[in-house]
Amino acid sequence: MSFATPFPAPFGATPSGLPVERWTLRSASGVEAAVLTYGAVLHSLRVPGPERRPPAEVVLSLPDVKHYATHGAYLGAVVGRFANRIAAGTFTLDGTRHHIPGNDRGNSLHGGADGFDRRLWRAEACERPDGAASVRLSLDSPHGDQGFPGSLQLSVTYTLASDGSLTLDYHAVTDRPTPVNLTHHAYFNLSGNPDRGVLDHLLTVDAAAYLPIDETGLPLPGAPAPVAGSPFDFTRARRIGARITEPDEQLARAGGYDHCWVLDDRDRPPGDGELDLRRAARLEDPGSGRVLEVHTSEPGLQVYAGQQLDGGFGDLLGRRLGPHSGLCLETQHFPDSPNRPDYPSTVLRPDQALRSRTVLGFPHLAAVAR
């Protein structure tokens, strides 16, 4: 079997008894990823350290489908139809009011109580001219699903390149106008040990502004706030825990970091076909030497420091996942966009196709790839 051949294996069943598969992708650089057909979950991402040091698990994972079906932390899942929050679960589109079930302090979060993270996706291997390992997961969301208008056909394709970078390509079409905002909810811990947490990781976010929130996590009215001089300034690498306990109203409202940063355009490269990618963030673990860089075509980055993980469930090795065990770097459009005409639109119409890309790269592996 070549490195580039993704392959499935049984991984239990959904609560209704449908079989779940686990697809494994491997790279010559030593990176290995595994994806579940339940929730399109990134179940494993094993990344070597510098100088060919042994690989470690850098995303938080759960041992079986039962745990994924009952927990509320969205570990590793693709979430939608609308990632993040919609105020009071309501919005008006083309003159019609729509209602989405509230599942977070009266707001709808990540598509409602039965979002895409709890669905069974279809999987198929993709052949690529560059030989990279690739698997496409597809899902049909019918008209009225969780209250959203329009039938939506969507897919997310995971591609593991020879240099160890993992690309997520999203695609969606609809038969009537509907808001769509997809993101990936992996929790990263580059040390490979959730007991160490991520507060000593160094984070850089390429954003000069962020969206302050109210007590329910919704963006406040008005323009984005500058990060300069605040605990939200990660324009240069800084420990995640350096200012997280400061007496700041925004930190208090979220219990730490759970905010959307407005990404800069200053690092945008010339372009990638129809998708222009910008660097969103860089995460470093000084202890292991591992480095993650996130590039995306999305305008926002939700940074969540995992403060609500309560140790109520364990990972693949039985280690309890407590506060700050992992960090989410969720590339997406802005929260509550259907109710905010001042934000970039998330409305997808029948004559359009949604395309979005996020690339997880590991620059410390550059020497290995050569």
How many whole angstroms separate alpha carbon 8 and alpha carbon 20?
10
Pick from 118, 130, 116, 193: which is nearest to 159 by CA? Answer: 130
Phi and psi, residue 229, nearest 5° = 80, 0
Cα separation, 342 vs 219, in Å, equals 12
Spatial contact of 224 and 207, defined as CB atoms under 8 Å apart: no
Burial of 223 (0-12, 13-18, 19+ CB in 10 A): exposed
User: Tokens 């590991």 correspond to what residue?
Assistant: 362
Q: What is the largest CA-CA distance in the chain?
A: 58
> For the chain, how big is the Rg over CA atoms in Å?
19
Bridge partners (DSSP) of residue 355 are 171
CA distance readout (Å), 177 to 113, 151, 347: 22, 9, 6
Please list the active-site residues: 185, 330
CA–CA distances in Å: residue 89 to residues 74, 138, 172, 184, 218: 19, 26, 22, 21, 12
